[in-house]
Amino acid sequence: MKYDVIIVGAGVAGLYAAMNLPKEKKVLVINKREPFKCNTFYAQGGVALAVDKEDVALHVKDTLEAGSGLCSEEAVDVLSKNSREVIDDLISRGFKFDSDKDGNLLYTKEAAHSRERIVHAGGDATGRYLHHFLLEHNPHAQLSNARVVDLLIKNGECYGVTVLDHRESRNIYADNVILASGGLGSLYEYHTNAPTISADMQGLCVMKGIELERMEMLQFHPTVYVNSNDAQKMLLTEALRGEGATIEDESGRRFLFDYDERGELASRDIVSKAIYEHAKKTGSKVYLSFNNFEHVYFTNRFPNIYKNLKALGFNVPEQRVPISPAFHYAIGGIKTDLNGRVPSVKSLYAIGEVASTRVHGANRLASNSLVEGLVFAKKAVLDILNNPHPKASVEFEIADEVMSEKDDKEKKNLLRHIMWEYVSIVRTKKGLNEALKQINALLKEKIGKLLKFRLLTAQAIVVSALAREESIGVHFIKKDNNDEIIDDANV
């Protein structure tokens, strides 16, 4: 059977695309592992939007400022102008954002937003509520526990995917393929991402010669509880700081003001770097303090954070919690146009975190990613519906490839360590060159295709980071004149 559309990924972008494709269309949504294992499920703070027409200019301005001059103004305009519509669409389909007793939406503020414009659900469980709703309202078939491992491309056109399903590879054909497979958290030792988020499609694009861009632009979240054994670390939402939580060192001093006059309300890259540098300089631990919160308000507004921290033995809001920055969000990705099309391959789209629409520039404004997933999912679907092009069947052979080798797990962990050590918050050319050397050496070893996806993505990140010699936005590179760039990216 051939589908009209295959969607790779069941997070906000993939599922909202599915929701907007008419029931009569033959659509298949594919996701790895259980459906809830995606970043969307874990989103806490909310969804940013331009509250009304007057707010569009201000939302655009805030987004452009956060992006430090590297946003596409056109893309930001599309995001902002369409944001109200997608939120209203969700509400009209029955989704309940938090509202007051008269039914008015409750808007909150997050770092670097100049007004309250973030809608949320279940207090701090926006992602969970939204994901559940989108799954429930998906009118199409869904294949879970399956992993896309190849794109079927011939003469610059995509004809479907190869999927690894219960250890068997098979081809599934479609007129259009939408990649909505999320970011790349699993490349890092400390990260906040779901375990399925391991850069498969970015790595596959490198193999296929499909352009990735802005890969060096990686966002680190400043307030993460990292003292746990899980690879995925617990994020403490920015809404906490927006509503009064403070960051302090062991002595209780709010040191962020030494780095930026906005203190806790500076953008997350500034806060992450300040914490990283302060901890390095002073050796002090860093804490998030909830002293400004009244107990009952805190437990109602942040019920999940309250419950999770309580389970870890923290008596919040009375007690402070140790924090560190951790990898959080991939700004760069597969280059697309403003309809989500991948320019070099017909019938192939990329939306959500896997894509680079240039909306976020050099830094993403808080809560602008769920809305990006919604807006560009809709754009891609409209483009597909407006340009029908049923294809003749083309059969592809299934490649005989080894997915994993015996030692790949240790090599994955080594890669995580390399990325955290040399390609995280503060970079140097020397460190980046060292990372590149080690990644290239790993690529020459006998490894499976799945690890190769990660290594090729990591390589693309390091090569982009080396190419951008000046610090900008989330890319902070310390100058060292003795460093030279090693140009051996092609393996």
Ligand X SMILES: Cc1cc2nc3c(=O)[nH]c(=O)nc-3n(C[C@H](O)[C@H](O)[C@H](O)COP(=O)(O)OP(=O)(O)OC[C@H]3O[C@@H](n4cnc5c(N)ncnc54)[C@H](O)[C@@H]3O)c2cc1C
Cβ neighbours of residue 87 under 8 Å, at least 6 residues apart? 47, 49, 97, 119, 371, 374
Identified binder of ligand X from the candidate list 20, 63, 68, 193, rule CB under 6 A: 193
Question: What character string, x for contact with ligand X (CB under 6 A) and - otherwise, covers 126-165?
Answer: xx-------------------xx-----------------
**Closer to ligand X by Cβ: residue 145 or 291:** 145
If binding is defined by CB under 6 A, does position 38 make contact with ligand X?
yes
**Closer to ligand X by Cβ: residue 118 or 477:** 118
Place of tokens 């909306």: 359
> Least distance in Å: CB of 185 to ligand X?
7
CA angle 130, 338, 344 (to 5 degrees): 115
> Least distance in Å: CB of 268 to ligand X?
11
| Amino acid symbol at 334 | I
State the Cα–Cα distance between residues 212 and 85, nearest whole angstrom.
29
Name the one range near ligand X by CB under 6 A: 83-91, 290-298, 364-372, 478-486: 364-372
Residue 166 has, within 13 A of its CA and on its CB side, a CA count of: 1
Q: How many CB atoms lie within 10 A of CB 413?
A: 12
Name the one range near ligand X by CB under 6 A: 70-78, 175-183, 286-294, 462-470: 175-183
Number of continuous H segments (helices) and E segments (strands) in the chain: 14, 21
Identified binder of ligand X from the candidate list 347, 367, 424, 464, rule CB under 6 A: 367
If binding is defined by CB under 6 A, does position 361 make contact with ligand X?
no
Name the one range near ligand X by CB under 6 A: 174-182, 264-272, 317-325, 437-445: 174-182
**Closer to ligand X by Cβ: residue 46 or 431:** 46
Q: Could you tell me which of 235, 35, 46, 48 has the C-alpha nearest to residue 132?
A: 35
CB 433 within 8 A of CB 445: no
Size of the site for ligand X (CB under 6 A): 42
> Least distance in Å: CB of 395 to ligand X?
22
If binding is defined by CB under 6 A, does position 433 make contact with ligand X?
no
If binding is defined by CB under 6 A, does position 31 make contact with ligand X?
yes
> Least distance in Å: CB of 389 to ligand X?
24
If binding is defined by CB under 6 A, does position 317 make contact with ligand X?
no
If binding is defined by CB under 6 A, does position 200 make contact with ligand X?
yes
Identified binder of ligand X from the candidate list 314, 329, 422, 476, rule CB under 6 A: 329
**Closer to ligand X by Cβ: residue 37 or 358:** 37
Q: Which structure tokens are listed for 156?
A: 């610059």
Active site residue 254: no
If binding is defined by CB under 6 A, does position 39 make contact with ligand X?
yes
State the Cα–Cα distance between residues 270 and 79, nearest whole angstrom.
24
CB 335 within 8 A of CB 43: no
* Chain-centroid distance, C-alpha 299: 27
State the Cα–Cα distance between residues 475 and 464, nearest whole angstrom.
10
Give, as ranges, the residues between 230 and 269 that touch ligand X (CB under 6 A).
Answer: 235
CA angle 31, 37, 42 (to 5 degrees): 135
**Closer to ligand X by Cβ: residue 205 or 435:** 205
Q: Could you tell me which of 123, 440, 182, 174 has the C-alpha nearest to residue 305?
A: 123
Q: Which structure tokens are listed for 442?
A: 């790993």
Identified binder of ligand X from the candidate list 45, 123, 222, 473, rule CB under 6 A: 45
Query: Catalytic residue among 214, 268, 301, 341, which?
Result: 268
Identified binder of ligand X from the candidate list 180, 345, 462, 463, rule CB under 6 A: 180
> Least distance in Å: CB of 457 to ligand X?
12
Please state at what angle helix 449-467 crosses helix 408-422, rounded to 10 degrees: 10
**Closer to ligand X by Cβ: residue 245 or 477:** 245
CB 140 within 8 A of CB 75: no
Alpha-carbon distances, residue 149 vs 160, 204, 226 (angstroms):
11, 8, 31
If binding is defined by CB under 6 A, does position 44 make contact with ligand X?
yes
If binding is defined by CB under 6 A, does position 431 make contact with ligand X?
no
Cβ neighbours of residue 346 under 8 Å, at least 6 residues apart? 156, 157, 158
If binding is defined by CB under 6 A, does position 352 make contact with ligand X?
yes
Residue 318 has, within 13 A of its CA and on its CB side, a CA count of: 6
Q: Could you tell me which of 327, 67, 96 has the C-alpha nearest to residue 214?
A: 67
If binding is defined by CB under 6 A, does position 197 make contact with ligand X?
yes
**Closer to ligand X by Cβ: residue 181 or 267:** 181
Binding residues (CB under 6 A) for ligand X: these are 8-14, 30-32, 37-40, 42-47, 126-127, 147-148, 180-182, 192-193, 196-197, 200, 235, 329, 352-354, 367-370, 373
Residues designated catalytic: 268
